[in-house]
Amino acid sequence: MSENYRIGFDLGGTKMLSILYNEDFEPIARERRKTRGHEGVEFGLNRICETIDRTLDKADVAPDQVIGIGVGCPGTLNLDAGVIMDAPNLGWKNARIGKILRDRFECDVSIANDVDAGVYGEYRFGAAKGARCVVGVFPGTGVGGGCVYEGRILRGKRSSCMEVGYMPLMGSGPRAGSGPPGSLEALASRLAISGEAAKAVYRGQAPNLMQSAGTNIADIRSGVLARAIADGDESIKLIVEEAADYVGQAVGTLVNLLAPEIVILGGGLVEAMPDIYLPAVKKGARKTVLPELASEFETRVAELGDDSTTMGVAGWVEEESSRARIAAE
């Protein structure tokens, strides 16, 4: 009998990643492409299907051997309908991704918020295996959050939740693309950090970053920031530490609400400079966490890297399919 496979798909802000997993969740083949979300919903959904086809071709696996596809999606989602309601970073609204994939590949399909999926991946396969309650905060282009409670992704009646990027930390202040002024995303996202770093370059305070990226925010990415700090740009280190402190303040508030044993930090910023980022988050968390809970949780860096979301949604579609079969019996 031929082996069955699952696809884990990460629909990121700028790049999409498709990984084919066998029944033991070992990666068999992968395909990474630019998302090109600005081309529109129909173009984007077709590109997702093409990327999955390319992944299967690399492994010489037939589509009928795929028993599940999980997709980690940015933005607000209707989980029951399999619809991306609004993904600002892609410019998409009402993208019926679940129906498109089910019709095309004739298998079970589940969607999840991309950070929810990453946290579930760490719970199932990585740094938070077996924990009763896990909270994750993943700073990137925005700031995403997720929670796994007793083996289930915490969600609303129909939609994803844990939009920690909208958490207000100031009564007034800068704005992100949406949400209130002074939000976590406006203060601590990689985009916010890059904007402050560009100002430091303009002022002559970051000579190493000036050489590698100048003031172009699009070029000031996580790895570039890390190299500038390693080369001696103290002003950039202070900017990153301040942003991480804000993330820590949000972590402390989340611990007060959910009392997790483990808080997972993930995303490119964390991966690029964990030795700077993690201590600053811990310092920020001490400002807001209840004293009674301060010793009840551990903050860890994600272990799975770019694969956390794909592994998470591949595991999640298995979980959802299993529960559906049990309910139908």
CA distance 170 to 172: 5
Q: What is the pLDDT of residues 226-272, one digit of tens each?
A: 999 999 999 999 999 999 999 999 999 999 999 999 999 998 899 99
**pLDDT higher at 282 or 180:** 282
Q: What are phi and psi of 157, to 5 degrees?
A: -60, -45
As a whole number, mean pLDDT of residues 150-175 equals 87
pLDDT of residue 89: 75
**Domain 5-113 part of CATH 3.30.420.40:** yes
Number of Cβ within a 10 Å radius of residue 277: 25
Instruction: Output the average pLDDT for the chain.
Output: 93
The CATH number of 127-301, from 3.40.1710.10, 3.30.360.10, 3.30.420.40, 3.40.50.1000, is 3.30.420.40
pLDDT at 206 over 80: yes
Q: What are phi and psi of 72, to 5 degrees?
A: -90, 120
pLDDT band at 177 (very low <50, low <70, confident <90, very high): low
Non-local CB neighbours of 228 within 8 Å, separated by 6+ positions: 197, 206, 208, 209, 212, 213, 236
Q: What is the pLDDT of residues 22-78, one digit of tens each?
A: 999 999 999 999 988 778 999 999 999 999 999 999 999 999 999 999 999 988 899
Which residue ranges does the chain devote to CATH 3.30.420.40?
5-113, 127-301
pLDDT at 131 over 90: yes
